[in-house]
Chains A and B, each alone.
Chain A
């Protein structure tokens, strides 16, 4: 059976997640820290819904009771040249 991917950015499979949840990494933040889930360039856009449902199913709880990860800016990759923007007339 081929792999099924929860997180494509970091190549994390469904079986990686299930094993980790059963090993006790059973909150979203724990799973994220242990596997690197949701830490790639998409920052959780694809994987959060799937991983949340997976944690809920493994623990036998409501998905609404699974913790929500912290989404930090930027929502998409932004070049440093934008973040380092200078005020008008400001010298380099």
Chain B
């Protein structure tokens, strides 16, 4: 009922999201950088790719890309990206939006067709992690009033 509940709820969702996406990206980077697939835990890797693809699709939807057609079931399975993370990403890419959407489309294609990700695509994933972590940290600081 107080602002603390709202902030705590926002923090819990954002820190969960931030942690999950960071773990997923770390696994994918390890695969790309030469770790054997067995060393990076195959079931977790499959989950990581699914999560990342879902996040990319959600971002494309949010940024107004019109080539995403999903049925209700597929739509419901997409991960939820906290609003603050979305707003921060939109602000970050504001002057660059069309290129960013193109990059996300190409990233999605690579994920769908299991093509090895390029350095630039990994950079995009890292920037999503960075924004998610910044959002979680900012909410945490508000909670602790620092």
Partners in one complex: no
B interface residue numbers (CB < 8 A to A): none
